[in-house]
Amino acid sequence: MRYVMIITGDESNWFGDDAPADLMDQVNTWWEKWYEAGRIAKGGAELAPANTAKTIGRSPDGRPTVTDGPYLELKEVVGGFIILVTDTIDDAVNVAAGWPGIPLGDRVEVRPVMER
């Protein structure tokens, strides 16, 4: 089955001056381990900082309206997603539990992909 691993956290842990210098090395090591094991599917994406986003919503008259940045002013934002391929959600959680950003405060959600 396919699962999406959604990574959320405080962007300053990824892009700020306090971000660990070796964080990307840790991420690359984690990625290589699970990709070589066949647990990561091609696809997924690392996202640019939230302040580069545009949000589309509905105006009071029902027409689309576009605003700069994320809709909600949150400290935690979605930083990226990875598509996992495992037999069960417990296997997917096992893969996701080793995400290097978790000790920094990142949260990882694992959700099954709808197969229609």
Sign of the Cα pseudo-torsion (61, 63, 65, 70, in order): positive
Q: Against a cut of 0.85, is the pTM above it?
A: no
Domain interval for residue 10: 2-112
Structural domain tally of the chain? Answer: 1
* CA–CA separation, 57 and 54 (whole Å): 10
Q: Give me the CATH number covering residue 63.
A: 3.30.70.1060
pLDDT digit string (tens) for 46-86? 888 888 888 888 999 999 988 887 666 667 889 999 999 99
Torsion of CA 48, 49, 52, 53, to 10 degrees: 80
pLDDT digit string (tens) for 2-44? 999 999 998 888 887 777 888 889 999 999 999 999 999 988 8
